[in-house]
Structure 1
Amino acid sequence: MKKMHSFRKLGRKVQQGFTLVELAIVLAVIGLIIGAVAIAKDVQRNAEYQKAINKFAYQWKMSYDQYYQRTGVVVGDCQQAPTYMIDGSETSINNSNACARAGSMAVPGIPASFTNRGAKICAGQGYAADTVGQGDKALAGLNLRTLMTQSGVRMPPGRGEGHEDRFLYIDSNGNPAELQVCFQFNDAGVASGAGNVMVIRGLTPDLARYMDQVIDGKPDSREGRFRIQGRPAHQTAATEANAPGTQWEANNTQGVAINVAGNSTQMNTSDTRQAVVNTSGSAGGTTDGRKLDEDQVILLTAHWIMEQ
C-alpha cells in the first residue's frame, strides 16, 4: 500500500506543470504565428506596390505610347508642326504660336528657341504645388484626360471614371496616400532627366525605391530612367562629371534638404514630418520630423523618362 501511494503521489507531482519539450513547442508555435503575421504584412505591401506599378504606372506609359502612335506626336504637341515637346502646342517661337511657326525660320527649331515650354499636363492640380517635393511646374492649359479621350486612347482605371490619373494606396504606417500622373518636358541639364517625362506625385520613399528598382534595376534617385524631382545637377568640377548617384534620401519621418535654385527652404515648411530648412545653404542638411508610427509618411515626386 505504501508503494502504490507513493506512485500516485509521484504521478500527481509530475502532472503539475509542462515539460521543457512542451514549452519549446508552444514557443515555436507562437514564433511561427508572429513570423507569419509579419510576412503577411510584407506580402500585402509588396502586392500593393506591384499593383501600383503594373496596373497604374506601366499602364499610363502604355497610354502615353498609344497616344504617340495614334496622333504621331507626344501629348499636347502640334500635329501639323511638331515640337517633340509635351505641351508643345502652348509654346511660342519667335513671338508666334508654335503651331503656326510664323517667323520661326529666324531661329533654330530647338527647345531653347521656344518660350513658355515645360508646363505640366495633368487632369487637375491634385496635391498643392511643392507639397510632395520641390520643383513642381505650372499647370498647362490642356487637360490630360481630355486629350486622351479625344484621341481614343484607353486610360488605366485608376480610382474610377473621371479619376483615371489617380491611384489610392496605403503607406507603411497604414495611412492612405494618392498617386497622381502628369506629363511634362524637361530642358537639357535638368537632373531628373531631360526630355519628355511622366511625373508621378505622391510616392513614399519606400514605393519610389521599389518602382526605381523595377524600372531601371537600380534604386538610385539620380541615375537611370526613374529619378527624384528637384535634385540639383552635378557641379561643373571634372571629378563630378560622371559621379555616382544618390539614394532616395528620405524615410517615414525624416527628409534630406535639397537645394533648389538657391532656395534653402526644402520640401514643405508647414509639415513637421518633412525636412524644412537648410540654414547653412549647403546640400545634405537634415531636420528630423516627428517619429510616430501613426503619422502620414513623407511623400515625394519622381520623373520617369519617356522614349518619345
Structure 2
Amino acid sequence: MKKTYRQQGFTLVEMSLVLVVIGLILGALSVGKDMQRNAEYKKIKQKFVDQWVQAYNQYYDRMGVVVGDRPKTPTLAVNAVNVTDNNTINTLLGTADNALSQANITELCSTPATVGQTADLLGYFHRAGIGLPTGRASGYEDRYVYLDTNGNPQQLTVCFQFLVAGADHGAGNVMVIKGLTPDLARSLDSAIDGLVDADDGRFRLDNAITLGLSTGNGGDGWPTGNNTVTTAGTGGASNTTSAVEDHQQVSTLTAFYRMTQ
C-alpha cells in the first residue's frame, strides 16, 4: 500500500517570523541610508565649509585685510575694492543717513571664465599662496557636488560678501553658501550654532528671498519639508508650497555664515 503525505503550509507563527525579519531588514536599510546621508553632511562641513573658513582666516592673517578689501585703506569689508559708490568708501562707517546700501557692495564669487583674474574669488587666494578645499576640481574649488534625499545631484557654491546692517539675516562679513537643501541647511545650522534657528546665530537663512517662514509656533525658520515643499528657485516661485515627487530634484536655498573677521 502506497503511503500518501499531506502537504503542509507555513503556520501563522512561521509567517509572522518571516514578516518580522523582512521588517527588520527594511528598517536596517532605511537607517543605513540615513546614516550615510548624515556622514555625507559631516563630510561637507569638515572638508568643504570648515576648510573655506580656514582659508578665509589664513588670508586675513597673511594679507592683513579680508579678501577683496583695499590693502592701503582697509575697510574690514569683503569686496570693498569693488564698491560702486564713486570710491566714497567712508560711507561704510557712515551714519544712518549716508550708510552704504547693500546694492553698492556685491558678493565676491568665482566663475570658470574669471579664474585667475584680479577680482575673482579664487584668484585672491591663489595669489596669496593659500591652499583651498578640493571642491569639485582645480578651478572649481568653490563648488561641491552632493546628492539630495531623492538621489539627485545638487551643487554647493561658496561666495563671500559684506552685509550692511539692518536685515534679519545679520550684518558683517559672511560666507554665502548657495545650493543648500533644507535638510543640509538644518544639519549645518545645528553643527555651527548648536541649535536649529534660521534667524539666529552665525548661520542664517538668506531672507532677502521671502519664504513666508516663521520661527513662531515651534518652527525653526527653515523650510518645513525636505522634499515636499518648494522654496524659492528650482521647482517653483518663492513663497509657494507644492507637492514634490520623490523622483524630482529638491529645491534649494541660500544661507549666510558670519565670519569672525
> By the TM > 0.5 criterion, same fold?
yes
> How far does residue 23 in structure 1 lie from its aligned partner after superposition?
2.2
**Partner of 1:150 in structure 2?**
127
Q: Distance in 1 between matches of 2:31 and 2:229?
A: 25
Q: TM-score, normalised by structure 1?
A: 0.72
Correspondence for 2:80 among 85, 88, 97: 88
**Partner of 2:236 in structure 1?**
274
**Alignment: residue pair count:** 247
- 1:30–1:245 Cα change, 3 Å: closer
- Any idea what the Cα deviations from partners look like across 1:166-205, whole Å, max 9, x if unmatched? 0000001111000000000000112111000000000001
**Aligned Cα root-mean-square deviation (Å):** 2.9
Alignment of 1:206-217 (within 5 A): 206-217=183-194
Which amino acid in structure 2 is aligned with residue 248 of structure 1?
W
- 1:190–1:176 Cα change, 3 Å: same
> How far does residue 275 in structure 1 lie from its aligned partner after superposition?
4.1
Larger relative strand fraction: 1
Which amino acid in structure 2 is aligned with residue 119 of structure 1?
T
5+ long unaligned stretches in structure 1: 99-103, 127-139, 234-243, 257-266, 277-285
Q: Distance in 2 between matches of 1:290 and 1:46?
A: 24
Residue 227 in structure 1 maps to residue 214 in structure 2: no
Q: SS of 2:47's equivalent?
A: helix
User: Is the 8 Å Cα contact of residues 222 and 231 (structure 1) preserved in structure 2?
Assistant: no
Alignment of 1:116-135 (within 5 A): 117-124=104-111
Q: Distance in 2 between matches of 1:168 and 1:78?
A: 33
- Any idea what the Cα deviations from partners look like across 1:278-303, whole Å, max 9, x if unmatched? xxxxxxxx533343111110110000
Greater mean deviation of Cα atoms: 191-200 or 15-24: 15-24
Alignment of 1:240-279 (within 5 A): 246-251=220-225, 252-255=227-230, 267-268=232-233, 273-276=235-238
Residue 171 in structure 1 maps to residue 141 in structure 2: no
Q: SS of 2:254's equivalent?
A: strand
**Partner of 1:41 in structure 2?**
33
> How far does residue 110 in structure 1 lie from its aligned partner after superposition?
4.4
Q: Distance in 1 between matches of 2:177 and 2:13?
A: 55
> How far does residue 109 in structure 1 lie from its aligned partner after superposition?
4.3
- Any idea what the Cα deviations from partners look like across 1:1-23, whole Å, max 9, x if unmatched? 9xxx9xx76xx44x612233322
Residue 52 in structure 1 maps to residue 44 in structure 2: yes
Q: Distance in 2 between matches of 1:255 and 1:125?
A: 29
> How far does residue 43 in structure 1 lie from its aligned partner after superposition?
1.0
> How far does residue 250 in structure 1 lie from its aligned partner after superposition?
4.5
- Any idea what the Cα deviations from partners look like across 1:47-99, whole Å, max 9, x if unmatched? 11111111111110111111111111111111221100001122367x4465x
Q: SS of 2:257's equivalent?
A: strand
- 1:245–1:185 Cα change, 3 Å: farther
Correspondence for 2:57 among 65, 87, 90: 65
- 1:43–1:245 Cα change, 3 Å: closer
Residue 29 in structure 1 maps to residue 16 in structure 2: no
- 1:168–1:27 Cα change, 3 Å: same
Correspondence for 2:240 among 279, 284, 287: 287
User: Is the 8 Å Cα contact of residues 228 and 302 (structure 1) preserved in structure 2?
Assistant: yes
**Partner of 1:281 in structure 2?**
none
5+ long unaligned stretches in structure 2: 211-217
> How far does residue 254 in structure 1 lie from its aligned partner after superposition?
2.0
The structure with the larger Rg is 1
Which amino acid in structure 2 is aligned with residue 189 of structure 1?
G
User: Is the 8 Å Cα contact of residues 178 and 254 (structure 2) preserved in structure 1?
Assistant: yes
- 1:108–1:299 Cα change, 3 Å: closer
User: Is the 8 Å Cα contact of residues 78 and 173 (structure 2) preserved in structure 1?
Assistant: yes
- Any idea what the Cα deviations from partners look like across 1:227-248, whole Å, max 9, x if unmatched? 1112589xxxxxxxxxx98420
Q: Distance in 2 between matches of 1:110 and 1:152?
A: 34
> How far does residue 27 in structure 1 lie from its aligned partner after superposition?
1.7
User: Is the 8 Å Cα contact of residues 228 and 303 (structure 1) preserved in structure 2?
Assistant: yes
**Partner of 1:183 in structure 2?**
160
Q: Distance in 2 between matches of 1:83 and 1:58?
A: 25
Greater mean deviation of Cα atoms: 176-185 or 31-40: 31-40
